[in-house]
């Protein structure tokens, strides 16, 4: 009877731990799984009783029932079987270590039978002390394992803990006093303990690194798609602005001629009409300033220049941008200049005191376009891991990331540095 109680005590945690770990996961039928696990435990106890009565060796049957228990979880849990096997081996190693410690204490410290009542209570005590702490570790392992999507890795990686576990089972037997009393048993079980922690520490570090790489890859994909969308929209926007400016220039030219004709027809007999037409001619806005040879960039810069004049922001813009560029598209150039000017205007708009200004310049030398901009801001920046958080929403800013992505796409780079109440931006890329 005491042998059966010992087997029951060392068996039960192997079923409690999986249900504690996977209780909130998706099951095909949790109740049926519980029922089958209970039947498996009863069958194991019955087989152990039969072996004890007939003097048969029970260890091989115990391994068989452990495999049946794992198959039950595989059938009823909607999880990758290789991930389950990796986690299940961690539980098996934990049980082997506890059983080994109990056997050593029973033979070398308390001098009691390995499968007696005393050993059973020592086993229960060790489980009670270690299991609450290790369940937290097991949950961390399980959550990290099931978050990591690497099918090829899981098909192979479970072999590492499995190999160590098989060696421990082959060379030590916690049921035999002759085995437990040897120094080799203690060496193997301590080695198993060290190997388990070393293996899982290395694997968990690797999984965390893989998870970070996956998150980084997904973020890069998202930013790349976002940049492509922004470039496409910017291309449409810049084209519309170029067309709009051309139409305004034509209408301004035609209107001036029409008013001049009307003024000539009016003659000198109606001085009031002549005075009114003169006022209309003077009210016609002059042609927009030409900032550079590139029409698209000139259009986007003219748009923001009008905005910063309305906001009473001091502006100094001196640009050299070729009309045609071989490597970078007009849309990509507009992404850079548009985001720089938009961010500068938003920063100046948030200022409640002090001088508001922006200075934008660019030049081309040996096929490299260099862009620099300094603008005033309120001195408040939010950075996280070297990236600037948006002031408009609780997320990272998209504009600076887009500028950096375009620059690096064309063999360049970008830097953004706050300096007191001046935000300095510098960009270079091949054109």
Would you state the pLDDT for residue 253? 54
Number of domains in the chain: 2
CATH number of the domain that 372 lies in?
Answer: 3.30.565.10
Q: Are 64 and 89 in contact (CB under 8 A)?
A: no
Q: Which pLDDT does position 166 carry in this prediction?
A: 77
Do both 338 and 204 map to the same domain?
no
In angstroms, the CA 309 to CA 304 distance is 9
User: Which range marks the domain in which residue 119 is found?
Assistant: 2-222
Evaluate whether residue 275 is within a structural domain. Answer: no
Domain end residue (candidates: 195, 222, 249): 222
pLDDT per residue, tens digit, the chain (431 aa), is: 777 787 777 777 777 788 877 888 888 888 898 899 889 888 888 888 888 788 776 667 777 888 888 888 888 888 888 888 877 887 887 787 787 778 777 777 777 777 778 888 888 888 888 888 777 777 777 777 777 777 777 788 778 778 777 776 676 655 454 555 566 666 666 776 677 677 767 776 776 666 677 766 776 666 667 667 666 666 666 666 666 666 666 666 556 655 665 666 566 666 776 677 677 666 655 555 788 888 888 888 888 888 888 888 998 999 999 988 888 988 888 889 988 998 899 899 888 888 999 999 999 988 999 999 999 998 887 776 556 655 554 445 577 888 888 899 899 999 998 888 999 999 999 98
Domain termination site, one of 202, 222, 242? 222
Q: Let me know if 170 is exposed, middle or buried by CB neighbors in 10 A (0-12, 13-18, 19+).
A: exposed
Indicate if 116 and 206 belong to the same structural domain.
yes
Last residue of a domain, one of 184, 201, 222: 222
- Name 179's Cβ contacts closer than 8 Å, sequence gap at least 6: 172, 173, 185
Q: Judge if 72 and 214 occupy the same domain.
A: yes
Nearest to 358 by CA among 367, 348, 366: 348
User: Is 227 inside a domain boundary?
Assistant: no
Residue in the structure block whose two tokens are 């696990």: 37
Q: Are residues 176 and 294 in the same domain?
A: no
Instruction: Quickly count: other Cβ atoms within 10 Å of residue 427's Cβ.
Output: 23
Residue 311, domain member (yes or no):
yes
How much is the pLDDT for 27? 86
């Amino acid at each position: 009877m005491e042998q059966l109680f010992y087997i029951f005590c060392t068996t039960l945690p192997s079923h409690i731990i999986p249900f504690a770990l996977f209780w909130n996961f998706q099951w095909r039928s949790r109740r049926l799984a519980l029922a089958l696990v209970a039947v498996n435990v009863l069958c194991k106890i019955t087989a152990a009783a039969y072996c004890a009565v007939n003097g048969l060796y029970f260890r091989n049957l115990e391994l068989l029932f452990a495999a049946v228990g794992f198959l039950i979880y595989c059938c009823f849990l909607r999880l990758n079987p290789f991930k389950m096997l990796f986690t299940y081996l961690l539980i098996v190693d934990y049980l082997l270590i506890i059983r080994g410690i109990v056997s050593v204490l029973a033979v070398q410290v308390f001098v009691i039978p390995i499968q007696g009542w005393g050993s059973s209570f020592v086993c229960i005590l060790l489980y009670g002390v270690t299991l609450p702490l290790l369940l937290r570790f097991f949950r961390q392992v399980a959550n990290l394992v099931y978050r990591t999507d690497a099918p090829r890795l899981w098909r192979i990686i479970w072999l590492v803990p499995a190999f160590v576990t098989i060696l421990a089972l082959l060379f030590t037997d916690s049921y035999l006093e002759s085995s437990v009393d040897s120094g080799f048993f203690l060496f193997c079980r301590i080695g198993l303990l060290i190997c388990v922690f070393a293996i899982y520490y290395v694997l968990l570090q690797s999984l965390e690194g893989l998870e970070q790489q996956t998150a980084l890859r997904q973020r890069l994909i998202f930013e790349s798609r976002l940049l492509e969308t922004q470039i496409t929209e910017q291309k449409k926007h810049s084209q519309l602005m170029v067309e709009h400016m051309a139409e305004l220039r034509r209408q301004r030219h035609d209107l001036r001629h029409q008013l001049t004709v009307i003024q000539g027809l009016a003659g000198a007999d109606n001085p009031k009409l002549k005075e009114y037409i003169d006022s209309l001619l003077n009210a016609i806005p002059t042609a927009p300033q030409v900032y550079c040879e590139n029409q698209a960039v000139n259009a986007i810069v003219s748009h923001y220049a009008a905005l910063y004049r309305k906001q009473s922001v001091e502006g100094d813009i001196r640009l050299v941008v070729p009309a045609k560029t071989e490597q970078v598209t007009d849309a990509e150039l507009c992404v850079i200049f548009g985001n720089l000017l938009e961010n500068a205007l938003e920063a100046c708009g948030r200022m409640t005191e002090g001088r508001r200004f922006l200075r934008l310049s660019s030049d081309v030398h040996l096929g490299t376009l260099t862009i620099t901009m300094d603008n005033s801001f309120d001195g408040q920046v939010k950075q996280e891991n070297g990236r600037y958080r948006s002031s408009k929403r609780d997320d990272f800013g998209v504009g600076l990331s887009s500028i950096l992505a375009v620059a690096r796409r064309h063999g360049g780079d970008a830097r953004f540095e706050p300096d007191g109440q001046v935000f300095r931006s510098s960009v270079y890329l091949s054109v």
